[in-house]
Amino acid sequence: MKNILRLLKYALPYQKFIWIALISMVVQVVVGFFIPFIMAGIIDDALPRGADALREILMLSAIMLGLAFIGIAGGFLNTYSSQFIAQHATAELRLDLFRKIQTLSFHNIDTFKASRLITNATNDVVRVQMFFTMMLRIIIRAPMMIVIGMMLALYTSMQLSVVFLITIPVLAISIVIIMIFAYPRFKKVQGALDELNNVVLENANAPQVIKSFVSQPHEIERFEGVNENYRKINTSAEGVLAFADPVINLIFNGGVALILGFGVWYFSMNHPAFFTDGVPRVGLLMAFNAYSQQILVGLMMFAMMLIFVSRADVSAARINEIFDADIDLVNAPDAKKVKLSGQIQFEDVSFGYGENGNYVLNDVSFTVQKGEKIGIIGSTGSGKSSLVSLIPRLYNASRGKITLDGHQIESIDIPTLRDQIGFVTQQAVLFSGSIATNILQGNEESDLQTLETCAQDALIHDFVSEKEDYYNAIVKSKGTNLSGGQKQRISIARALIMHAPILILDDATSAVDLASERKILNAINKLEHKPTMLLISQKISTVRRMDKILVLDNKGRIDGFGTHDALLKQSKVYCEIAQSQLNIGGEHCA
């Protein structure tokens, strides 16, 4: 319960609507109790007097009708206000959760998993929204119905109230038992939903691979497995809830039967409390039955509320876990906003994704001067992408020191640091929108001329010029309406428009032909601000064009750092790659 209570802060700003919901709910509940009270008076007092009480009966009936309309209006206001609060509160909650997710480091995301974060932002938030909706409709209404109903029932007949000594304890025990069995199952349901979302997400992100390898049967079988697991766990949880409705109805109907049974017994005994001038007080029995039904409905609502709150509390706990997550990559208290020129130095840097010492980079040391162009090459899994991801602090180095222009990287303000690094990732990532919005993501303040210049340097301008909408041409989610080469060139243009002093191309020209790649690299070499460039490539023909080449072996160590000709004699790894690609080696290698 503490988890869901913690999120109540999102509803508190809407106090005006909270008061409207509370007052209208109180009006609706009170009206609901007044109607049987008036009805009892009509049956027991007015009707026995016949035609003499006709005017009184009509007046009381009109009052009952008016109260019914007031109750309807109260119900409408309560429902509207509750929905208003729920929609606005959860919109703020969802926004804060998204902001928190945006601050998570890569390590945090690896820990939580993308599928879990999707469930948090959708299904879990919806459960909390339902709690906000029901909070002012049931959570306060149910206790009011129970308390007011009990008071009126005791006032109406102390004799019949003995029924509650049976029904209330039985209902309370049933609720506790259901809660004990239901709560842990709800937690498992959300975990199973995470796994279901994970499989869907993986398939949505890799349709080409799945279709190319005709692995649809395998993926369907895999989805069927997690789907069946979710069904079983959800069925188990809902199975516990399935007992709630019949048990509550059984107690509800049993209570009515007990009231009627006791009433008949008291009538047969000629109990004075059940007769007025020798006339049976049928209205009293009907009013008491109405009150008892209100009490039992309140108890039923209270029981369902507890079950519902337990489900919402599980989701709230998962959301709060995200809010409470310690971001392992944050600014130092004395972080500086420095203007970089492009000098990079690694000193004995090691890095691993896990915490078990299994490093992908080991004791890496090298220095890159301002404006130098560095090619990075090595076998698959040698840690090339991991190395460049340390420069914008997407991850923190496990050991060693990285400095930029002599400033230790941890001392530099993170947004300032990343704003000065143009990064083109290994897999081109585009967002739904237009070609212009994707390129301008690098610098939203750039004008059209700058955008066109960067697009020309990235060899994407000619393609855009053929579009009817020019740079407003639509890009679908993940760039599914573009080729791999087009996506890469738009990503390069996005990095170039930053005019950053450091430019990182992580195998960013793999989908571009050699002639186009050469033109792009020539355009980068001619940039006025002369950025320091680190270019990862699997092709010797690409990296040999750089000023120096950094070679990594399959253990994440530097096997060589120098020019193409020097590395042929110094680096065994580089020589083997050159021999396989260029058919050179032998006498060229040491």
- 298 found inside a domain: yes
Same domain, 165 and 221: yes
Same domain, 306 and 435: no
* CATH number where 36 lies: 1.20.1560.10
Q: Express each pLDDT in 508-521 by its tens digit.
A: 888 788 888 899 98
Check residue 516 and give its pLDDT: 87
Same domain, 274 and 399: no
In this prediction, residues 316-324 reach a mean pLDDT of 87
- 328 found inside a domain: no
Q: Express each pLDDT in 482-533 by its tens digit.
A: 888 888 899 999 999 999 999 999 888 887 888 888 999 899 988 888 999 9
- 227 found inside a domain: yes
- 332 found inside a domain: no
For the beta sheet containing 407-408, the strands, ordered from the edge strand earlier in sequence to the opposite edge, are 361-368, 344-351, 399-404, 407-408
Same domain, 372 and 482: no
Pick the last residue of a domain from 272, 290, 323: 323
Same domain, 361 and 493: no
Same domain, 440 and 349: no
DSSP string computed for 320-355: HHHHTPPPSS---TT-B-------EEEEEEEE-SSS
* CATH number where 452 lies: 3.40.50.300
Same domain, 117 and 104: yes
* Structure confidence at residue 369 as a pLDDT band (50, 70, 90): very high
User: Among residues 470, 502, 515, 506, which one has the least CA distance to residue 488?
Assistant: 506
Beta strand 532-536 pairing with 548-552: unpaired
What six digits make up the tokens of 526? 């001619």
Same domain, 225 and 359: no
Pick the last residue of a domain from 271, 289, 323: 323
Same domain, 493 and 506: no
Same domain, 264 and 407: no
Same domain, 23 and 160: yes
Check residue 292 and give its pLDDT: 76
- 335 found inside a domain: no
Domain count, the chain: 3
Q: Express each pLDDT in 185-227 by its tens digit.
A: 777 877 787 788 777 777 766 666 666 556 778 778 888 888 8
Q: Give the pTM.
A: 0.70
Pick the last residue of a domain from 323, 354, 376: 323
- 536 found inside a domain: yes
In this prediction, residues 147-152 reach a mean pLDDT of 78
Q: In angstroms, rounded to a whole number, what is the distance separating the alpha carbons of residues 539 and 376?
A: 10
- 470 found inside a domain: yes
- 333 found inside a domain: no
* Residue ranges making up the domain that contains 435: 429-499
Q: In angstroms, rounded to a whole number, what is the distance separating the alpha carbons of residues 448 and 482?
A: 22
Q: In angstroms, rounded to a whole number, what is the distance separating the alpha carbons of residues 332 and 412?
A: 8
**pLDDT score of 279 more than 80:** no
What b/e readout covers 473-486, taking b as 16+ CB neighbours within 10 angstroms? bebeebbeebeebb
Same domain, 469 and 545: no
Check residue 139 and give its pLDDT: 73
